[in-house]
Structure 1
Amino acid sequence: MFLANKKWVYLIVLSLIWGSSFILIKKSLLGLTPFQLGALRNIITGLILFSLGFNKLKTIKKKEWKWLILSGFLGSFIPAFFFAIAETEIDSAVVSILNSLVPLNTILLGFAVFNIVSTKRQILGVVVGFIGTALLILKGADLNPNQNYMYAGFVILSTVMYATNVNIIKRYLQDVKPLTIAVGNYAAIFIPAVLVLLFTDFFSKSTFQNPEFKMSMLYITILSFFGTAMAKILFNKLVHLSTPVFASSVTYVMPVVALMWGFVDGEGFSFLQGVACLIILFGVYLSHKKKS
């Protein structure tokens, strides 16, 4: 009973943190380019995690490194850039909605690639949640007809990477502690992130003279600490405690939080979107509800 409740606590906390990350990306882009934002997010997060558990690297076995490296690029490095690029054209709330494709991809990849079997109830929960997501997307398109939804492709590709990552953690890194996984991930992607930042105009005079620069740095620091470093550890713990499908269902609850932030920031929100949010929450419940 305690373990079941603990899973839900992790799910709710992660939803609040990650649901808020989309508005932080949007605000960070006011003074940074997408590539600067992605690189800084990986660098700052890496520094935070190294300060928390750099000594954990020596506990990683040689056979685990290839999965940690792959997990780092698929679960952190590439999506950090892709989400920033997507939000240059699409509202932050819509991006969070598209991110809800992760559980569906987790089931499909888990079954097709990793031989991880999902129950009929989990599949039903994902389908119900996906219907809610579709309603949110359709209504979002109605409210924002001038947005370039081609950029949604960056988010969809990221959901495939996230789904692959959660299956890798469950299948190959189950015995590695959550903090160790996070530190190992960023040990692999830290130098590539630094190289990307060096090839941007981040260190030019014009960047520092941008009136939005200081606030953007504050937002990206908050995003890196809470939305990436702390959330990575919590998510890895959630994967260990539950199934890949339940862990990835955090992306079904995140849009509820993101839509609220979007509404506060002037993005559109309608009654139908509220209904769709309730359908999503019901899908999450079904995906984890045990048989009588």
Structure 2
Amino acid sequence: MKIFDLSKPLGQWLVLIFLAFIWGSSFILMKRGLIAYSHDEVATLRLVISFICFLPLIFKNLKKVNKKDLKYFFLVGLFGNGIPAFLFTKAETGISSSLAGMLNSLVPLFTILLGVVVFKIATNKIKLIGVFIGLIGAITLLSSNGLNFKNDEFGYGAYVVLATICYAISVNTIKKYLQDVSAIIVSSFAFLFIGPPLVIYLFTTNFVSTTVNDPLAYNSLFYISILSIFGTALSLVLFNVLVKHTTAVFASTVTYLIPIFAIFWGVIDGETIHFIQIFGIFIILIGIYFVNKFK
């Protein structure tokens, strides 16, 4: 981690922006994966490939793991990876990738709420103000995309909201119970519990026949692989390192920046961007400033 000195604010911000780019790109990659595969196949492939990437680290660190931490690894694996992966791919069968990225900005709000109410983690009013300012920016972005609560978009958007609650549970679990555990161990052993059953589940789907018979399958598989290696395996290690060196709330504010990159890829993919979206991003950045400025 010599490239990013996480003991200094500059290093923390560089990691935050880098993660935002990776995760902001994940929505368009999921969209590409869904061209050939079903939503559950995309989610399963993403997690299985990530699990395979983590296997060497799991074997290497097997003797370093404290048994008392296993239940927390399970929670991180389930709520930080497993459930959200399926919720997001399901959501993107009914809403755009950019809208999914925008809704993802709810994570810091749920991180604060669950941190205070469930995990008994102390915070302050200034951080709460920052989170709500960021939330207003996220709502502005969401509104600019023309969300109509009378159609199915609301229902599919609810999948993303549920995913953000799951992420908040995972972030707070890492911060409260796994603070002294290596980020690499946390990231890899979280997959120890969800990886094996998902490998079995993958072969109960139409994955094999789709890969063999669909001419677009290899392109989709390529995008899913990028999503798995960079958007899941590598980014999880970086994110868990960031949580340990900062706060759960600051680390989760990466989701405020994610819509910027999600919209960018949306534009590249043929979508248009409006002034109100730029205004929403500006509000989000103000929220991040308040969350990070006052410790």
Check whether TM > 0.5: yes
Deviation of 1:2 (Å): 4.6
Match of 1:283 among 278, 283, 287: 287
1:243 counterpart = 2:247? yes
Q: Retained in 2: the 8 A contact 1:91–1:267?
A: no
Q: Hey, what does 1:269 align to over in structure 2?
A: 273
Deviation of 1:38 (Å): 0.8
Match of 1:101 among 99, 106, 110: 106
Q: Retained in 2: the 8 A contact 1:53–1:179?
A: no
Q: Percent identity?
A: 42
Q: Retained in 1: the 8 A contact 2:211–2:218?
A: no
CA 147–91 in structure 1, closer or farther in 2 if over 3 Å, else same:
farther
1:224 counterpart = 2:224? no
Q: Retained in 2: the 8 A contact 1:57–1:183?
A: no
Deviations 1:17-64 (A, max 9, x none): 111111000011001111111111111001111234531122111100
What's the secondary structure of 2:208's corresponding residue? coil
Aligned-partner residue type, residue 179 of structure 1:
I
Q: Hey, what does 1:258 align to over in structure 2?
A: 262
Q: Hey, what does 2:174 align to over in structure 1?
A: 169
Deviation of 1:147 (Å): 6.1
Deviations 1:100-156 (A, max 9, x none): 100000000000011111121111110110000011111112699976221111111
Deviations 1:202-225 (A, max 9, x none): 122x44221210100000000001
For structure 1, the 5+ residue unaligned runs are none
Give me the TM-score of the superposition, normalised by structure 1. Answer: 0.95
Alignment of 1:66-105 (within 5 A): 66-105=71-110
Q: Retained in 1: the 8 A contact 2:58–2:192?
A: no
Q: Hey, what does 1:156 align to over in structure 2?
A: 161
Q: Retained in 2: the 8 A contact 1:15–1:253?
A: yes
Q: How many residues align?
A: 290
CA 95–31 in structure 1, closer or farther in 2 if over 3 Å, else same:
same
For structure 2, the 5+ residue unaligned runs are 1-5
Q: What is the Cα-based RMSD across aligned positions, in Å? A: 1.8
Q: Retained in 2: the 8 A contact 1:101–1:159?
A: yes
Looking at structure 1, the residues matched to 279 and 153 of structure 2 have their Cα atoms a distance apart, in angstroms, of 25
Structure 1 stretch displaced more, 261-270 or 135-144: 135-144
Q: Retained in 1: the 8 A contact 2:57–2:185?
A: no
Runs of 4+ in 1 over 4 A off after TM superposition: 142-147
What's the secondary structure of 2:104's corresponding residue? helix
Looking at structure 2, the residues matched to 238 and 246 of structure 1 have their Cα atoms a distance apart, in angstroms, of 9
Give me the TM-score of the superposition, normalised by structure 2. Answer: 0.94
Looking at structure 2, the residues matched to 170 and 181 of structure 1 have their Cα atoms a distance apart, in angstroms, of 11
Q: Hey, what does 2:29 align to over in structure 1?
A: 24
Q: Hey, what does 2:187 align to over in structure 1?
A: 182
Deviation of 1:243 (Å): 0.7
Q: Hey, what does 2:140 align to over in structure 1?
A: 135
What's the secondary structure of 1:175's corresponding residue? coil
Q: Retained in 2: the 8 A contact 1:19–1:256?
A: yes
Aligned-partner residue type, residue 268 of structure 2:
V
Aligned-partner residue type, residue 34 of structure 1:
H
CA 265–144 in structure 1, closer or farther in 2 if over 3 Å, else same:
farther
Match of 1:5 among 5, 10, 23: 10
Match of 2:46 among 38, 41, 50: 41
Q: Retained in 1: the 8 A contact 2:130–2:287?
A: yes
